[in-house]
Amino acid sequence: MKKPILIQTANNKVEVIAEIADRTASLMKGLKFRHVLSQKEGMLFVFPNEGFHAMHMKDTLIPLDLIFIDSDREIVDIKHGEKKSPDLIRPERLCRYVLEVNKDFCRHKNIKIGDKVRI
């Protein structure tokens, strides 16, 4: 299932068409082994509660920006250009959602910590 996600930046509204990962299998698989992700697409990971949800990038072929979002739908952390790392990528603050988009998407769209997200 895909769903439009709207990010309100300081100067603009940015839309991402996101695949939803909210079940164990889809949360585990994510964007692994994919070679292409369109510039307006992403994947939204929906966790049952807030936590320091770490993302595992092993076997992720596409470089991604990871946008960590809390229960109030505020961006609490952004990790830029993550790809195929054996290390877990952890947010600095508690989050409930993680939106993965192409590398440099956040820089090009001026998405920052503190921006609000409509899911």
Helix H segments across 52-104?
none
How far is residue 39's CA from residue 102's CA, in Å, rounded to a whole number? 7
Domains in the chain: how many in total?
1
CATH of the domain at 51: 2.60.120.1140
Residues 6+ apart with CB under 8 A from 72: none
The answer to whether residues 65 and 80 touch, using CB atoms and an 8 Å cutoff, is yes
pTM of the complete model: 0.94
**Residue range(s) defining the domain that contains residue 57:** 2-118
The answer to whether residues 40 and 2 touch, using CB atoms and an 8 Å cutoff, is no
How far is residue 76's CA from residue 59's CA, in Å, rounded to a whole number? 25
pLDDT digit string, tens, across residues 67-88: 999 999 999 999 998 776 778 8
| Closest C-alpha among 81, 55, 71, 48 to residue 117 | 71
What is the average per-residue pLDDT within 17-43? 89
Give the rounded percent of residues in the chain with a pLDDT score beyond 70: 99
